[in-house]
Chains A and B, each alone.
Chain A
Amino acid sequence: MSEEVMVNDVAAPHVPHAGRPQIHVVPLRGLPVAGVAVIFVALSIGFNWRWGLVFNHVVGGGLWTGIDLFVGLVIGPILGRLSIPARAEFSARFMPKMVIIMPTVVLMTLATGFQVARNAGNLVATNPNHAWLIVSFCVVGVMATIALGILEPANIAVLYEMNKPVPNGERIGRLMQRFIYTAGITGVMQIATLVIMTRLGSR
């Protein structure tokens, strides 16, 4: 139901938005925060700093999974029921923040995750956790390919489209459909991540 409403609503082409403020595709104020996170990750790996590695992996992973599930299961359906202007206004403020937040939390999680697994001995083939770890690599691989190859380009393209004097609503709707089509896969992968990681952590 919500998907149908969403597709039909955004199918109205060329909706002018006179006097709209320009959207910053990359919010510059967020870059220093991302920079600090990157430096923190590099130092944690470089000095093999156990707390730093665990902090980055747990906090980054928790945020990644939490944000993905919350956006997919809560924000997405709400957004689908809003009017076009409300949806456009929300997206214009929300999506640029995601451009900074998601790559940062993904980098925090993945770069330190390998080190955490290595230090815990989970990379050793005879370790009982090794098989679970390989499954988690596959889960992350699927999510990374979807996020980087399908969703992020669509996100940036939508923001550029919204910055045009006359945005094409039909085109925005088509690009946004990618989020609907992949939400199920991402949701299943994130729940699998929760199962795998809690299982690894409790053994």
Chain B
Amino acid sequence: MSATSSHSPAVQSDRPVPPVGWLSTAALGLVVVGGILLASYAPRVAPLGLATALLCGAIVLLVLAGALLARIKDFAWATFASVFRWALLAYVIASGMIEFAFVHDHTRGSSLVLVTLMLVVFALSVPTTMAFTVARYAETR
């Protein structure tokens, strides 16, 4: 960016980083589409092939985000862990509520497994995006 702030510690942390946030947000987008697909067929069984493909795509994106994240040097891991922990708690509660609704509605078998795995991706992707967005700008010491 501008030369005016190139030597400040705050702007040093604005260095280029891998697109971890966008990858985990894309994973979220895929499980949202998968969730819409499953919900739009309820109470019938949705075509599981497409839903499984969306889930697999989301898992690949999330794993890729994690791998890229792990390779970042001088990252504010303490800040990342702090934000991730609390966000995870919040989104596990939200996911648990959605899972409860599906179980209560007698969703069973493969559909329930798919929903559960999608909710796991949901509960991991949002905290990952959130913690990464905060930590990328935090001091690394």
Q: Is there contact, CB below 8 Å, between A153 and B94?
A: no
Cβ of A174 to closest chain B Cβ, rounded Å:
9
Q: Is A114 an interface residue (CB 8 A)?
A: yes
Nearest chain-A residue to B86 (Cβ)? A26
Separation of A11 and B21 alpha carbons in the complex (Å) = 23
Measured between beta carbons, the chain A residues less than 8 angstroms from B36 are: 134, 137-138, 141
Chain A 3-38 interface residues, beta-carbon cutoff 8 Å to B: 13-14, 26, 38
The main secondary structure of chain A at its interface with chain B is: helix
Cβ of B106 to closest chain A Cβ, rounded Å:
11
Q: Is there contact, CB below 8 Å, between A38 and B97?
A: yes
Categorize the interface residue count of chain B: 35 or more
Separation of A166 and B5 alpha carbons in the complex (Å) = 12
Q: Mark A149-161, 1 if CB is under 8 A from B, else 0.
A: 1101110110011
Measured between beta carbons, the chain A residues less than 8 angstroms from B86 are: 26
Separation of A38 and B96 alpha carbons in the complex (Å) = 11
Q: Is A59 an interface residue (CB 8 A)?
A: no
Interface with A: B27-35, B47-55, B66-74, which one? B27-35
Which one of B21, B44, B79, B104 contacts A153 once the chains associate, using CB atoms below 8 Å?
B21
Separation of A142 and B8 alpha carbons in the complex (Å) = 38
Separation of A1 and B82 alpha carbons in the complex (Å) = 39
Cβ of B48 to closest chain A Cβ, rounded Å:
17
Q: Mark B125-141, 1 if CB is under 8 A from A, else 0.
A: 11001101110011000
Q: Is A123 an interface residue (CB 8 A)?
A: yes
Separation of A118 and B41 alpha carbons in the complex (Å) = 12
Number of A positions contacting B (CB below 8 A) = 41
Which one of B28, B104, B105 contacts A149 once the chains associate, using CB atoms below 8 Å?
B28
Q: Is B39 an interface residue (CB 8 A)?
A: yes
Measured between beta carbons, the chain A residues less than 8 angstroms from B98 are: 110-111
Q: Is there contact, CB below 8 Å, between B10 and A111?
A: no
Known interface pairs A26-B86, A107-B94, A157-B134. Does A166 touch B10 (Cβ–Cβ under 8 Å)? yes
Q: Is B83 an interface residue (CB 8 A)?
A: yes
Q: Is there contact, CB below 8 Å, between B1 and A148?
A: no
Q: Is there contact, CB below 8 Å, between B4 and A13?
A: yes
Q: Is A199 an interface residue (CB 8 A)?
A: no
Q: Is B93 an interface residue (CB 8 A)?
A: yes
Separation of A26 and B93 alpha carbons in the complex (Å) = 16
Separation of A134 and B40 alpha carbons in the complex (Å) = 6
Q: Is there contact, CB below 8 Å, between A145 and B28?
A: yes
Q: Is B101 an interface residue (CB 8 A)?
A: yes
Q: Is there contact, CB below 8 Å, between B130 and A171?
A: no
Chain B 85-105 interface residues, beta-carbon cutoff 8 Å to A: 86, 90, 93-94, 97-98, 100-101, 104-105
Q: Is there contact, CB below 8 Å, between A154 and B133?
A: yes
Known interface pairs A125-B44, A156-B133, A157-B133. Does A114 touch B39 (Cβ–Cβ under 8 Å)? yes
Q: Is there contact, CB below 8 Å, between A46 and B104?
A: yes
Known interface pairs A153-B134, A156-B134, A160-B134. Does A168 touch B40 (Cβ–Cβ under 8 Å)? no
Sample (5) of A-B pairs whose CB atoms are under 8 Å apart:
A45-B101, A115-B105, A123-B42, A156-B83, A160-B83
Q: A156-B83, A160-B83, A170-B5 are in contact. List 8 more A-B contacts (CB 8 A).
A: A38-B93, A103-B94, A111-B101, A141-B32, A145-B25, A145-B28, A157-B137, A170-B2
